[in-house]
Each structure stands twice: as C-alpha cells, then as structure tokens.
Amino acid sequence: MATIYVLDGTQITTLEDFWRVVGEAVNGPGGYFGRNLDALNDCLRGGFGTPDDDDFEFHWHDHAASRERLGYTETVRQLEFRLARCHPTNRPHVAQELAAARNGQGPTVFEWLVKIFECQAPGSLELL
C-alpha cells in the first residue's frame, strides 16, 4: 500500500511555504528535507524522507489556491532572489526568465514544482 503525503494548498502562499508544507508532510511537524528544487527532486526519487521503493504519492489538496499564489508574482520574487545570488555566467539566462515572468510569460513557480513531480516521480502527484 502506497504511503500518501498530503499537501494543504491553503497553507502554501510562497515557495518557502511549499518547502515547509512538504517537509512536514514527509517528516512530520517541523520536518525538513531541504528548501530548493534539487532537494525536492531528491525527495521524489525516494530515500530522502520518502520510501526507497517509490511506493508513495502526494495529494495536493486545494491546489488551485496554490496555483494562484505561486503564479507570476511569486515567480518574479523568486527569480529576483535567484538573480541576486546566481553565478555571473547564469545571470543573462535568469534575467531573461525574470523579464518573461514580469510580462506574465513562461513557467510559474507552481509549474516548476509540478514539472519536477512529473519528471522524477510520474504518477506520484494528484492535484485535488
């Protein structure tokens, strides 16, 4: 029987909230597994808080609320943060992503997260 981790979309208003909610879903109250896209990627491969046998699912309840809150406003905020700390050789690419997000184009934070689920653990995410 699959382990089911529940994400409460009403508790996710920023990317930082997502890290907290996922960490607590996987590792209990105050749980932590990392606070970046690479850590999520690792978690979904199994063995980093999730079962090694890949027999787990995430149920993202009220995902529509998260989709809205993790839209372009949050994407711009995250890309501004990324631009300020990224390696100089990555700045042109991040600046281009930031300009697109400011124009309501390109993937949003919500779409970044869903794509990682789809790529690393196909079928492990149910948007409810």
DSSP-based three-state secondary structure for 58: strand
The distance of Cα 44 from the centroid of its chain, to the nearest Å, equals: 11
- Dihedral sign for Cα 15, 17, 23, 25, please: negative
Q: Which pLDDT score is estimated for 53? A: 66
Which position has the higher pLDDT, 83 or 1?
83
Query: How much of the chain, in percent, has pLDDT values that exceed 70?
Result: 94
pTM: 0.91
Closest CA relative to residue 18, chosen from 121, 114, 87, 123? 114
Tell which CATH classification among 3.30.2270.10, 3.30.370.10, 3.40.140.10, 3.40.50.11810 matches the domain 3-71+108-127: 3.30.370.10
The domain locations on the chain are 3-71+108-127, 77-106
Is the pLDDT reported for residue 76 higher than 70?
yes
Residue entry with tokens 């281009």: 96
Q: Is the pLDDT confidence value at 92 over 80? A: yes
For residue 47, what is the DSSP state?
Answer: S
